[in-house]
Amino acid sequence: MAELLEKIKEKLSEANGFNGVVFTQNINYPMIEVPKERLLEVCTILRDEFQMEQLRDVVSVDRFTKNERFECIYNLYSLTHSTRMFIRVRLESKNPEVDSLWPVWQSSNWTEREAWDMMGIKFINHPDLRRMYMMEEYEYHPLRKDYPLMGLPGAVTLPKK
Amino acid sequence: MSLDLTKEEYIQETKDESHISMSQEKILRALESDDVRGHFEGTLDNQLILNMGPQHPATHGVLQLVVSLDGETVVGTIPVLGYLHRGYEKLAENMTFHEFIPHTDRLDYLSPLANNVGYVLAIEKLLKIEATERAQWIRTMCCEMARLASHLVWMGSMAMDVGALTVFLWTFTEREKILDILDILTGVRFTTSYTRIGGLALDMSDECKARLVAFLDQFIPKLENARNLIERNKIFINRCEGVGYISKEDAMSLGLTGPNLRAAGVGNDLRIDDPYLKYRELDFNVPTATESDVLARYYVRVREMYETVKLLRQCLQKLPEGPINTPDAKQVLPDKGEVYSKMEELIHDFMIVNFGNTPEKGVEAYQAIEAAKGELGFYAISDGKGYPFRLKIRSPSFTNLGALPTMMKGAMISDIVAIIGSIDPVMGEADK
């Protein structure tokens, strides 16, 4: 696992033109911070050259700060190396948008739909960006920190009698 | 409706007639695929939209499927989730770590013990504490008992989906015996809430151990009985073999985990590949199959039950004596007897109950366990307060259901229930 990480570090180093790719140790698994413009490229490299076959989850976070309020954390798993790895992208506060990973992993379809529904992060070039849990008429994104716990009165349109 | 209508005109017409909602319209649009679109020419070509659920006995809860049919063949499927959405991730951000434990019971309500263990392990990683030896062994047994209970429900309900009703009653009898053991172990049969951060609610009694041994001794013959009833049944085999195929590449790309992935020929099991608790010290095999159809998934789960029995026997042998709670007064709830008699313990109890455990600021932790359905993971982020800043639940049923449209392609209507049964979804977990 450490070997694999070294190889990835070498590949994604600044010498190869990957500026802004940072390796952190904040979590009990390796985590790579990637600028959102390079996300699709880095993920394709990880899948094709380092056998990260699965995207197991997309974690969306609302930091509730003025700049870079939203975050997407991608949970990758390599079946060949039995290794888990996380990728983090930071997104702007207004209209958070990031490239969809649909071309790389099919599982991003549902996990990204969930992130869109709950946190309102838009995924560019997603094949079917509908809401996952809430109804389409719903205007809000409930997991954002400014959404009240008890919900908003009148947010759900009930069917007429 | 005239057959000359295009899809666009059809949607418009249905919309005008029946006040179709925006969600329904979007589902219909998503069902449009290029290979069946356009005018229907031959007399036998006939596309039909069939709605299944959410109130349907064979969809294992409130799963809605909008299926597009060409004759009797499924062309496209749109699973619609969210009928059981309770917003647990939002709730978790507004309660202390301990208060969320009962809510984990309601995720995968067929194996609540495994959810308790998975959640508590994640929070312990966040707090950087570890449970004692005995607690870890008991937790390992909890995971395996939960797996057994869950697989028994799955076996019965899947056999029922394809028409064999008797197996359901037989496997439920066995599950009832496990629930009786859980009754002694945790105090309740169903919503256990058994684990605590840094330990367990109760110790495992000798009576519980004896009951478990007695159960394991008679379980395998009973399982064989149930297997004999269906495995040599021509109807069951014909309805399962070659149905719901998914290729290995698709299975990996779609993020399948657990028995569904292992039936596709990938021997991935977190108990071996990323060991947690005491699985390092236990000897067991991971059954796999390569056919990747409904029957293969059936055999993988059935063989897992044998491995689980093996694991439980080893755990019973190796279970050490000792305390069940970690001696960390700041993070672990003290014993109730001490709370009522000692000042120090009373203060700690008050602090933990009222303000919650306090991890360091900015720490994040991820812990996944191999639950009965696949990888159950909890991603917790702390901001130094007594409740999580963000808790993301990675539920296996959710991603497994994402593979349903791929498995469904080209199947017949009657295969739909068999395929859903083989995925083994629990909507409490998929909808969170």
- The string of pLDDT tens digits covering residues A48-66 is 888 888 998 999 999 888 8
pLDDT in tens, A5-60: 888 777 777 777 778 788 888 788 888 888 888 888 888 988 888 888 899 899 99
* Alpha carbon of A95: minimum distance to chain B alpha carbons (Å): 21
* Whole-number Å distance between alpha carbons of B102 and B86: 14
Enumerate the residues of chain A whose CB falls inside 8 A of the CB of residue B432: 133
Q: What is the topology classification, in CATH, of domain A2-124?
A: Beta Polymerase; domain 2 (3.30.460)
Per-residue model confidence (pLDDT) at position B176: 92
Enumerate the residues of chain B whose CB falls inside 8 A of the CB of residue A61: 381, 390
Per-residue model confidence (pLDDT) at position B150: 92
Put simply, whether the predicted model's pTM sits higher than 0.90 gets the answer: no
**CB-based contact B276:B367 (threshold 8 Å):** yes
* Whole-number Å distance between alpha carbons of B180 and A49: 51
Measured CA to CA in angstroms, residue B328 lies from B40, B151, B346 at distances of: 71, 36, 14
Any chain B CB within 8 A of the CB of A78?
Answer: no
- Convert B318-375 into a string of H (helix), E (strand) and C (coil): HCCCCCCCCCCCCCCCCCHHHHHHCHHHHHHHHHHHHHCCCCCEEEEEEEEEEECCEE
Does A62 sit within 8 Å of B27, measured CB to CB?
no
Does A75 sit within 8 Å of B377, measured CB to CB?
yes
Q: Following DSSP, what letter does each residue of B280-292 receive, concatenated?
A: GG--------SS-
Identify residue B432 by its one-letter amino acid code: K
**CB-based contact B398:A110 (threshold 8 Å):** yes
Confidence band, pLDDT 50/70/90 cuts, at residue A3: confident
Enumerate the residues of chain A whose CB falls inside 8 A of the CB of residue B402: 106-107, 109-110
Enumerate the residues of chain A whose CB falls inside 8 A of the CB of residue B273: 82
**Option in A61, A84, A143 nearest B90 (CB):** A143
**Option in B81, B273, B379 nearest A132 (CB):** B81
Mutation for testing the B interface, residue in A75, A76, A112, A121 having most B CBs under 10 Å: A75
* Whole-number Å distance between alpha carbons of B404 and B76: 10
| Core vs surface per residue B292-317: b (16+ CB within 10 A) or e | bbbbbbbbbbbbbbebbbbbbebbbe
DSSP-based three-state secondary structure for B157: helix
**CB-based contact B68:B62 (threshold 8 Å):** no
Residue of chain A whose alpha carbon sits nearest to that of B375: A56
Any chain A CB within 8 A of the CB of B375?
Answer: yes
Does A130 sit within 8 Å of B366, measured CB to CB?
no
Token pair belonging to B318: 């190796």
CATH 1.10.645.10 residue ranges of chain B are 88-431
Q: How many Cβ pairs within 8 Å bridge chains A and B?
A: 107
* Whole-number Å distance between alpha carbons of B187 and B181: 9
Any chain B CB within 8 A of the CB of A2?
Answer: no
Q: At what angle do helices B22-31 and B7-18 cross, to 10 degrees?
A: 160
Any chain B CB within 8 A of the CB of A24?
Answer: no
The ipTM of this complex is 0.91
Question: Going by C-beta distance under 8 Å and a sequence separation of 6 or more, which residues neighbour residue A158?
Answer: none
Q: What is the topology classification, in CATH, of domain B88-431?
A: Cytochrome-c3 Hydrogenase; chain B (1.10.645)
- Nearest Cα to Cα of residue B427 among B51, B31, B82: B82
Any chain B CB within 8 A of the CB of A156?
Answer: no
- Nearest Cα to Cα of residue B296 among B97, B158, B116, B152: B158
* Alpha carbon of B376: minimum distance to chain A alpha carbons (Å): 10
* Whole-number Å distance between alpha carbons of B424 and B404: 11
Does A135 sit within 8 Å of B22, measured CB to CB?
yes
Identify residue B130 by its one-letter amino acid code: E
- Nearest Cα to Cα of residue B285 among B264, B310, B263: B310
- Nearest Cα to Cα of residue A44 among A82, A70, A76: A76
* Alpha carbon of B256: minimum distance to chain A alpha carbons (Å): 8
Q: pLDDT tens string for chain B (432 positions)? A: 455 666 677 667 766 666 667 777 777 777 765 544 444 444 445 677 888 878 877 777 888 888 888 878 888 888 888 888 888 999 999 888 888 999 999 888 888 999 999 999 999 988 888 889 999 999 999 999 999 999 999 999 888 888 888 888 999 999 999 999 999 998 888 888 899 888 888 888 889 999 999 999 999 999 998 898 888 888 888 888 888 888 988 898 998 998 999 999 888 888 888 888 888 888 999 999 988 889 999 999 999 999 999 999 999 998 898 888 888 878 888 888 888 888 888 888 888 888 888 888 888 999 999 998 989 999 999 988 888 899 999 999 999 998 888 888 888 888 888 898 888 888 888 888
Q: Where do we find the tokens 């069939």? A: B50
Any chain B CB within 8 A of the CB of A54?
Answer: yes
